[in-house]
Every structure is written in C-alpha cells, then in structure tokens.
Amino acid sequence: MIIEKNRVVSLAYKLQRNDAAGETIEQVNNEQPFVFLYGVGSLLPDFESNLEGKTIGDKVSFGIAAADAYGLPDDKALEYVPKDIFIIDGKLAEDLLEIDNIVNLRDQQGNLVRARVAEVNEAEVLLDFNHPLAGQDLFFSVEVLEVREATQEEMDHGHVHGPGGHQH
C-alpha cells in the first residue's frame, strides 16, 4: 500500500540541522514510531510531499529549507512583557527566567503558547514566540514502517486513533 491521502503512516526518522552531517535534533525509532494521518495538513507540506507514493520498507532522505519548514525568525514574534507576570504565590519564579528556557503561557483566549526567554532585565522579560526551529534548515532520514487505510472515524476527526495515535 502506498502513502496517499487518508492513509495512516508509521515512520522511524532522524531529524538533523542543515544536512546529513548536522546535529541530531530528534530521533524516532521503530519501537515507538511516529504515526500520523497523511494528507490532512497537520505536517509540513514539504515533509508530506517527500513521502507521497512511498511504501513499507522505503527509506528516503531529504532536506527542507528554513523558509519552507518553520519559517525565518520574525522580529514581530519578540515581545517584552512585565517581569511581574512571573510572580507565582507572591514570589518571582526566577528559575523560569533563565535565558533559553521555554515557558508556557496563556494568551488572551486562554490558549497555551510557548516562548523562549531571550533576555531578562530589571523590569521586563523579552520573550521569543518564534517556533524553536525557525531559521533552521532541516534534514530528514525516514523509513516507512507501515501504511494502512484510515478508518472513517480517523478521517472524520483528522487524526489517528489507537496505538501510536490519539486516544479518545
């Protein structure tokens, strides 16, 4: 069975910075594969396009330029916030305010957002809301482990159910 729209795909992969010689960012093995519903727009378009038509046992390596992955860093995604928003139970949570720490915050609608602490000064904290991989060229080495038809429920929900996927 080939990888095409509405197929459930299981992969092992290695993600590296820049190229095959680059630093390893993430590695997913055969024992705990990455399982997803192909063609529903939940992954990087270039990632999916490089997998289209592949089948079980196929191995493929490809790069994705930063602009086509998580984009280039955007200065508009940098924001100074008052340091006092990090006061928890009456005390400044200084352990959160270390450069390069990732902090979880809520936006005005209550949604979880993540930001990197870029700078800390006397009264403010500069937060970077860019994706952590913004500005990075990516290189994937992928092995296709399994391809199956998605169930109607998976297609209706837009994600995989069961082992390796989302549980309801």
For position 166, what pLDDT does the model report? Answer: 57
For position 101, what pLDDT does the model report? Answer: 95
Which class does domain 75-128 fall in?
mainly beta
pTM of the complete model: 0.82
What average pLDDT does the structure give for the chain?
Answer: 94
Cα distance between residue 27 and residue 79, in whole Å: 32
Cα distance between residue 37 and residue 19, in whole Å: 26
Q: Does residue 137 register a pLDDT over 60?
A: yes
Q: CA geometry: angle at 14 spanning 156 and 131, to 5°? A: 65
Looking at residues 137-163, what average pLDDT do you find?
92
Q: Does residue 164 register a pLDDT over 70?
A: no
For position 165, what pLDDT does the model report? Answer: 59
State the amino acid at position 144 in one-letter form.
Answer: V
Ordered by start, the domain boundaries in the chain are: 7-70+134-157, 75-128
| Per-residue pLDDT tens digits for 10-41 | 999 999 999 999 999 999 999 999 999 999 99
Topology (CATH level 3) of domain 7-70+134-157: Chitinase A; domain 3 (3.10.50)
